[in-house]
Structure 1
């Protein structure tokens, strides 16, 4: 096909998604060639935008599915997800890749169900687990978020844990139940007496603390240690911004 007969569409990407697009295509609508067979979802991904970040695809003023095959002259508008984002199914659960360990621990402190492995299990395994357990996969890896077997996902726009946490809470509005999950394994915490934890903590800790919690899954014991004040401040700040625990 010669250049004069080439088919193309005009695509405009929402400003929130501009960081995914090459610099030369960030200023307003851009023209893209099409082959007449590739889906609109594929075209948008080829532009650099993960479909996990797309709210809707509007073609000539009407909403179109990702499987729509664009036609010559179509005008496409790509919008960002609406916040808070509604995720099908319940309960809302998450899966974080190996690079988001600090975020995983903070989310667990807030009582959010978070699956996380401290070792890299590979992109295929992560995507498969997301689908099998119906978990929203959080990652900064665009390639991982493009895997077809993924159930649901979200790109982490910042590499700073504080900003990542605010992004997740603002985007998904998960239920907050601070101090109910084990930060090590995601298990449920229950109150425990001194006698129940005596064989798992130092004698000095038993003498200086009266309140303990135990993980029902891994057996880890928790008490108000040296870092508890810092975590309490984090929890208080989160509840002040995102509402009380429900």
Structure 2
């Protein structure tokens, strides 16, 4: 191995970000006295927001430290649950995560989402509102201006929800947020919303909630059982984290 290179060991939990041929072995990356460890780590494919600890020859260091040739760098994942500087954690999701956004709102997690935001705007909003940016785009996580983000690895919405809840363990408050716009729900008398209901709904249901912002009306309709299953699964996931 070239003595001018930095040796890197990536924890198995982060192999997802490596090329298949790079998984499970020590990597060698060219470096000089101007190269930071953050640059070295991202050069092999691991976004820095996914890294919880960096060790050089056994000691903890920061990503800004220079990468001395010949040293061994160990790259470790974030803790579960991940400590974050906002309590409770709140999120902003990229354009590819609309279903996940609705499910996070269903279980009461403060979740901003708009399917018409470009990358620059996503970063601006995440920074201004101190929201954790959830994205499937690894390149977006490499933006130095982004205050905090996380990569969503799974493609299936059920698995995505498990992944986010297991990583951040936010407190849940099911049935308290509008799944369309994220605003709080308030109880509504049937007489207050009757004009907005279809005839069959008026005849069948008596308990309603209404969005405090967009006025969307909610009731326990035909899809309630499936939604209840999502809520119960989410509760189990957060409970298993052991916060």
Deviation at 1:19, TM superposition (A): 2.0
User: Counterpart in 2 of 1:47?
Assistant: 44
Q: CA deviation at 1:229?
A: 1.3
The separation in 2 between residues aligned to 1:46 and 1:123, in whole angstroms, is: 21
Q: Distance in 1 between matches of 2:152 and 2:18?
A: 16
Residue 197 of structure 1: aligned partner: 193
Deviations 1:114-136 (A, max 9, x none): 000122x1111111111111111
Alignment of 1:44-193 (within 5 A): 44-119=41-116, 121-193=117-189
- Find 1:9's aligned residue among 6, 25, 35: 6
Aligned to 2:215: 219
- Could you give the per-residue CA deviations for residues 193-241 of structure 1, whole angstroms, max 9, x where no partner exists? 0111122222332221100001101111101111111101221222234
Instruction: Return the alpha-carbon distance in structure 1 between the equivalents of residues 65 and 198 of structure 2.
Output: 63
Change in Cα spacing, 1:236 to 1:84, as seen in structure 2 (3 Å) is: same
TM-score scaled by structure 1? 0.93
Structure 2 distance, partners of 1:33, 1:87, is: 33
CA contact (8 A) 2:18 2:45 kept: yes
Stretch moving more, 184-193 or 149-158: 149-158
- Scaled by the length of structure 2, what TM-score is found? 0.94
Shift of 1:36: 1.9
Superposed CA RMSD:
1.8
- Paired positions, count: 241
Measure, in 2, the Cα distance between the counterparts of 1:174 and 1:200.
34
- Counterpart in the other structure of 1:234: 230
Alignment counterpart, residue 21 of structure 2, candidates 21, 24, 27? 24
Deviations, residues 150-181 of structure 1 (Å, cap 9, x unaligned): 12111111101111110111100001000000
**4+ long deviations beyond 4 Å:** none
